[in-house]
Structure 1
Amino acid sequence: MQFTTERRLDDGVLEREFTLGEIPGTLWTPGSTPAPLVLMAHNNGLPKADPRLVARAGYTAGRGYAVATIDAAGCGDRPRSAAAEQARADLRRAMRAGEPVDEMLESFVGPLVENAVPEWQTTLDALLELPEIDGRVGYSGGWTALGIRLAVAEPRIAAAGFFAGGYVPRAQREEARQVTIPLLFLLQWDDEGNPRQRALDLFDAFGSKEKTLHANLGGHTGTPSFELEDGCRFLDRHLK
C-alpha cells in the first residue's frame, strides 16, 4: 500500500489517498489512533470521490473510526471497458424511456459485485497491517449487494449498515439469509428507483438476530442527516 496524497481536515481527521496495485483508494483516520475500521462503499461502484460518500466518511472518522473506500474496477479514474460503457449507456436509455431494467441491472451489477469482493478483501488485508488501525471491522454503504457478499465471505466484518437504495441481484438476495452479523438498514420510503416492497422483503430475509430498520419519508437522496449520528451509535455498540 502506497500513500500518494495527504491532507489534514479541520476536525483533525487525516485524509490520505493510496494505491494498492491497480486499486486506488482513500483512507480517513481520526486524530486519535489506533481506531476500529469501517469499510465504506457507494452505490454499485460509484467513484470514491462522490461528495455524499466523502461527507459520510469524514463524519464517521471524526467520531473515532478509520474509514476506507476504494474505486471498483471501471469506476472513478480506473480504465473502463467498451462493454461496460455500452451497458451503462443502454441502462440510462432504458431508464429514461421508462422500460423495465431489472434484467439489465442483474447482468451489470452481478459481475461488479463478484469482481469487487476480492479487491476489498485485499484492501482489508493491507489496512489491518497499519498501526493506526486496531479493533473490529464494520461495513457501511449504499452498495448493499457488495455488503451482503462481503458479510458472507469475510468473517472479519462484525457489523454492517446498509442503504436500501441500489439494485441487489438475485444471488445476493439469496445470500442475505446467511448474513448473521448485527445490521442497520436504511430505507427511503419514496425512493423512485427502489421498490419499497422489495427492500422490505430483503430486510426480512436477513438472517441476523439483531437487525434494525430505519424508514424515512423522501426520495433516493433524501436520507436525513441525523441518520449519520444514529449510524455511528450503531457502530459504537458493535465495534468499540
Structure 2
Amino acid sequence: MHFTSETRLDQGPIEREFTLGDIPGILWTPPTASTAGPVPLILLGQPGGLGLRRMHPRLEVRARSAAAQGFASVALELPGAGDRHPLPGAEQARADLVRAISVGERPDDDIIDRLILPIVERAVPEWQAALDAVLGLPEIGDRVAISGGVIAVAVRLAATDRRIAAAGLFAGSYVPRSTMDEARRITIPLHGLLQWDDEGNDRQMALDLFDAFASTEKTLYANMGGHTGVPSFASEDAARFFARHLDSTGD
C-alpha cells in the first residue's frame, strides 16, 4: 500500500489517496484517529463502471458522515472501472442487460452472471488485500463494516471474510444465482435500502435476496421513488445502524 497524496478536508477527515499494486484507492480518517485511539472502519462500496474520480464527490460526502461519527472509511477502484482495463465481455453483457430492460424483459441468468460475476471474482480478493493493508495501520481498529456498492460484491465479501461485522446494502441490483446461496451463509447484522420504483433493477429479486439472508438482525427500508430518489433521511437511518455495530462504547 503506497500513499500518493494527503489532504486535510476543511475541519474534517484527512483524505489520503493510495495505490495497492496498480489499484487506486482513497482512505479517509477522522481527526480523532490515533495510535492511542484506533477507530472503526467502513468499506465504501460504489456502483460498477463509474470509477473513483466520477464518484469522488458522493464518496466524500459519505466519508465525511462516517468521520463525524468517529469512523475511518476506504474506497477502492472496482475492476474494469476508471483507468483500469475493461473486463472481457463486460461491454456486451451490459448491452444485453440494457436491451432486455428496454423491451420490458427480465434479464436472464446468463446475462447477469456474465456481467456481475467477473466483477465479484476480482473485486473480493482485492478488497481483502486492501483490508489487510488498512488494518495494518496503527490508527485503524479492527471493527469493520461495509456500506453500499455492487451488492453481489458485498454479499461475497461478508460471506467469506469474518472481519466484516455489519453490512449496509443498497438493495435492488440484479444478482447472480450464486449470490442467493452466499446470502444464506450470512448471519451478521444487515441494513438494506430499497427504492421501490427503481427503474433499472428488480424489486422482487431484491426481496428474495433479503429473505435469503440468514441474519437474525436484518432490516429493509423501502422508500417510494426511483434509483436516484433516495430520501435524505435514509443516510440518518444508516448512520444509526453503523453506530450501533461499530461504536465500542455501545458494547
Same fold, judged at TM 0.5 (above): yes
For the pair 1:14 / 2:14, whether they are aligned, the reply is yes
Letter in 2 for 1:164: A
In the superposition, relative to structure 1, how do residues 204 and 134 fare at CA in structure 2: closer, same or farther (>3 Å)?
Answer: same
> Residue in 1 aligned with 2:25?
25
State the Cα distance separating 1:141 from its structure 2 match.
0.7
Residue range with higher mean Cα deviation, 161-170 or 80-89: 80-89
For the pair 1:63 / 2:69, whether they are aligned, the reply is yes
> Residue in 2 aligned with 1:188?
195
Residue range with higher mean Cα deviation, 100-109 or 224-233: 100-109
> Residue in 2 aligned with 1:73?
79
Letter in 2 for 1:38: I
For structure 2, the 5+ residue unaligned runs are none
In the superposition, relative to structure 1, how do residues 153 and 124 fare at CA in structure 2: closer, same or farther (>3 Å)?
Answer: same
Letter in 1 for 2:167: A
Letter in 1 for 2:73: V
In the superposition, relative to structure 1, how do residues 37 and 123 fare at CA in structure 2: closer, same or farther (>3 Å)?
Answer: same
Letter in 2 for 1:59: S
Cα pair 2:42 2:71 within 8 Å, conserved: yes
In the superposition, relative to structure 1, how do residues 106 and 82 fare at CA in structure 2: closer, same or farther (>3 Å)?
Answer: closer
> Residue in 1 aligned with 2:39?
35
Q: How many residues get paired?
A: 240
State the Cα distance separating 1:54 from its structure 2 match.
3.2
> Percent of aligned pairs with the same residue?
58
For the pair 1:226 / 2:233, whether they are aligned, the reply is yes
Q: With structure 2 as the length reference, what TM-score do the two structures score?
A: 0.88
Residue 216 of structure 2 aligns to a residue whose secondary structure is coil
Q: How does 1:33-182 map to 2 (within 5 A)?
A: 33=33, 34-44=38-48, 46-49=50-53, 50=55, 51-81=57-87, 83-96=89-102, 98=104, 100-102=106-108, 103-182=110-189
Following the alignment from structure 2 to structure 1, what is the Cα–Cα distance between the partners of residues 127 and 44?
10
State the Cα distance separating 1:46 from its structure 2 match.
3.6
Following the alignment from structure 2 to structure 1, what is the Cα–Cα distance between the partners of residues 182 and 168?
16
In the superposition, relative to structure 1, how do residues 205 and 94 fare at CA in structure 2: closer, same or farther (>3 Å)?
Answer: closer
Residue 43 of structure 1 aligns to a residue whose secondary structure is coil
Residue range with higher mean Cα deviation, 82-91 or 185-194: 82-91
Aligned-residue Cα RMSD (Å) equals 1.8
Following the alignment from structure 2 to structure 1, what is the Cα–Cα distance between the partners of residues 118 and 52?
19
State the Cα distance separating 1:142 from its structure 2 match.
3.0
Cα pair 2:87 2:118 within 8 Å, conserved: no
Letter in 1 for 2:237: D
Following the alignment from structure 2 to structure 1, what is the Cα–Cα distance between the partners of residues 4 and 217?
39
For structure 1, the 5+ residue unaligned runs are none
Letter in 2 for 1:7: T
For the pair 1:2 / 2:8, whether they are aligned, the reply is no
Following the alignment from structure 2 to structure 1, what is the Cα–Cα distance between the partners of residues 126 and 88?
21
Residue 214 of structure 1 aligns to a residue whose secondary structure is strand
Following the alignment from structure 2 to structure 1, what is the Cα–Cα distance between the partners of residues 95 and 58?
23
Cα pair 2:189 2:217 within 8 Å, conserved: yes
Residue range with higher mean Cα deviation, 93-102 or 188-197: 93-102
In the superposition, relative to structure 1, how do residues 137 and 82 fare at CA in structure 2: closer, same or farther (>3 Å)?
Answer: closer
State the Cα distance separating 1:120 from its structure 2 match.
0.4
Cα pair 2:173 2:202 within 8 Å, conserved: no
In the superposition, relative to structure 1, how do residues 22 and 140 fare at CA in structure 2: closer, same or farther (>3 Å)?
Answer: same
